[in-house]
Chain A
Amino acid sequence: MSDILVEDKTPTPAPVPRTPRLASRQLPKWAPLAIAAGAIAIAAAIGAGFGLDSKIQWGLIALVLFVLGSYVITARVEGRRQAKDRVATSLVWSSFILAVIPLYSLVQTTISNGSKVLDGTFLTHSMNNVLTIQPGGGIYHAIIGTVEQVAIATAIAAPLGILTAIYLVEYGKGALAKWVTFFVDVMTGIPSIVAGLFILSMWFVLLDKAPATGFAGSLALAILMMPIVVRSTEEMLKLVPNELREASLALGVPKWRTITKVVIPTALGGITTGVMLSIARIAGETAPIALLVFGSNVINNDPFKDPQASLPLYIYQQYGNGNEPSYDRAWAAALVLIAFVMILNLVARGIARWKAPKTGR
């Protein structure tokens, strides 16, 4: 465009007569690939030449060269604005790659280390009479502890959370609802260790002794779980079309029956998903369990009496033992925990997709 204008108006200063072009010059499509290849080659040369043994350094040099190279080349061919665009693109891509590397490494390390001792015996035996420096033992007691504690926490938090969400969506107006909404949001951010300390101090104040039962742990987990359930249920209830409520109320159905028979069944899939996701969240909590349940090496089926074990706490304790067999057990337990959490997540999201509330029209 500017080229045309320039040629129209000014006869004198154009040193080189240029043919008018509508499209500005562009780099060919393969240019980024070529620049990348060049950058990697030069980086490898530099790395080998200066004897840098860390491959991460090679990668970083290549990255810097790539960004610089594409900026300079694009700036010369396409102009500075396009060059900035290229740089932004490569920065966005590299931030994505930077994030993927540690996350991939996390999953890969857990799977490769965890599969070493993970077998049927590991799943069905406790640590009773196993010295920490020996190989052997298992996580049966920890699985029982986690399942019981999480089950109790869910039994407490899910109904309270769902009812609170019903209050916020169906009844809530005015100051109280605003305060509840705000504090639900704030509550999602409470550090798990603070929830643990709260239950601990409650035990001290009310019962004048230290807790050390699975039940105390599940109370702390319930505190962490409740706001998550409230938020997800709230969002699901909001998706239920208002016409359904109006139709039911117009037929003379009492409000509470409208809620229990029309609104909740419509949103049930989403509510289930929310509860399962929150279970996945609290199943991995370690800090409150460490303060309240203490952990144990033997099977204890009673969450109301004596210390229990728990999967995340087991990982922490095995890590704390600081020897190879314990590390192996910790990784194997980590693999079981991660598998449990991931399966719960996938199933929950599957239910969400399958039972998504029909949003009408």
Chain B
Amino acid sequence: MTTTAPPSAAPPRAAKTVTRPGDRIFAGMSRGSGIFLLVVMAAIAVFLTVRAVSAISKDHGNFLTTFEWNAGLNPPVFGIAVLAYGTIVSSVIAMLIAVPIAVGIALFITHYAPRRVGGVLAYVIDLLAAVPSIIYGLWGAIFLVPHMKGLNLWLDTYFGWTVIFDKQDPNSAARSLFTVGILLAIMILPIITNVSREVIRQMPKMHEEAALALGATRWEVIRLSVLPFARSGIISASMLGLGRALGETMAVATVLSASPQLSAHLLDPLGGTFSQNIVAKFGEADQFGRDALIASGLVLFFITLLVNGAARLIIARRKEYSGANA
């Protein structure tokens, strides 16, 4: 990951070498699997679209603006308005919480912690990235939700005037988009931390030393040389985290008590997200209902495709580290 020159794999002049059948087969196989990967990506889009189009064409609501999801009715009425809203709101909450903290941890590991401690911490964060999402979901539903009650009441009492933090029924459980956002923030912390850390680590030592030699304090070194250098990396790390948050299923499905309402009251147990809706409605759905869910999955697919593609294009300028293993 951190070595010197990227090897230019092929020897400089391969033109006159004899191509043996073994060579041709092996090259064909490896090229073929590369092409297969592209085919899979295309197939995902095609198959999802085929089923989605057939479902949307029979939708008696407006697929984009209808609130409820009743694909089982006759005629079926379903739409993604609430799901899109819930997905975006919960992911935005997650980003607002996770990005500053993740950058803080990355700076802590690279600039503040003693070297040994930083190494161990980086390792622990790596391990935490591997915790399956269903376990976050279980923890969120059984541990976090009851413990959110105090915070919810406090927000409701002192910030209720903002509408966002106005809890309409103070006694309802904290199975809200806000809690989901916090849980998602915890889940995407490791990936944002890891990618930002790798980018910060690539910074030339000289910049920092120059700033220090001019008498800058540690914070000034970070603000004037580290953060400008790492900015694009941190942005794309955040977008990778956003991609995770948008598509996260189990943690949302266990925590949120869904209902087809579009509400600005984030503390109320309302709303839903794409993936949560798919898992929740799948069991009772018939063939057509599943096609309708596939249609909503297609929308999710394109949203994450856009977010991830953009993140990759930004990070592509720093080829060294992709974040795929983070």
Contacts and interface: CB of A to CB of B under 8 A. Distances in A.
B138 A235 contact: no
Interface stretch (A31-39, A93-101, A118-126): A93-101
Contacts of B100: 95
Interface in B226-241: 240
Given A201-B48, A242-B7, A193 B249 contact: yes
Interface residues of B, number: 109
A271 interface: no
Interface string B300-312: 1100110111011
B159 interface: no
Nearest to A244: B7
Nearest to B301: A194
Contacts of B154: 57
A359 B8 CA distance: 15
How many of chain A's residues touch chain B, expressed as a range? 35 or more
Contacts of B37: 160, 164, 180, 183-184, 187, 226-227, 230
B181 interface: no
Contacts of B275: 191, 193, 287
Interface string B148-188: 00110010000000000000000000000000000000100
B61 to A, nearest CB: 21
B130 to A, nearest CB: 5
Contacts of A254: 20, 22-23
Interface in B115-164: 121, 123, 126-128, 130-139, 141-144, 150-151, 154
A84 B7 contact: no
Nearest to B308: A189
Interface stretch (B38-46, B70-78, B204-212): B38-46
A171 B31 contact: yes
A331 B105 contact: no
Contacts of A176: 31, 34-35
Contacts of A186: 41, 305, 308-309, 312
Nearest to A95: B104
Contacts of A45: none
Contacts of A198: 43-44, 47-48
Interface string A89-130: 101111110110011011001100100000000000000000
A81 interface: yes
Interface string B12-44: 000001001011011101111111111011011
Contacts of B250: 286-287, 312, 316
24 contacts: A57-B154, A88-B218, A92-B108, A109-B139, A160-B37, A191-B304, A193-B249, A194-B301, A197-B294, A231-B324, A239-B3, A245-B9, A246-B11, A255-B26, A257-B22, A281-B130, A284-B132, A285-B133, A315-B135, A316-B254, A334-B134, A337-B134, A337-B135, A345-B127
Interface of A: 54, 56-57, 81-82, 84-85, 87-89, 91-96, 98-99, 102-103, 105-106, 109-110, 113, 159-161, 163-164, 166-173, 176-177, 179-180, 182-195, 197-198, 200-202, 204-205, 210, 223, 226-228, 230-232, 235, 238-242, 245-246, 249, 254-257, 259-260, 274, 277, 280-281, 283-287, 290-291, 312, 315-316, 319, 327, 330-331, 334, 337-338, 341-342, 345-346, 349, 359
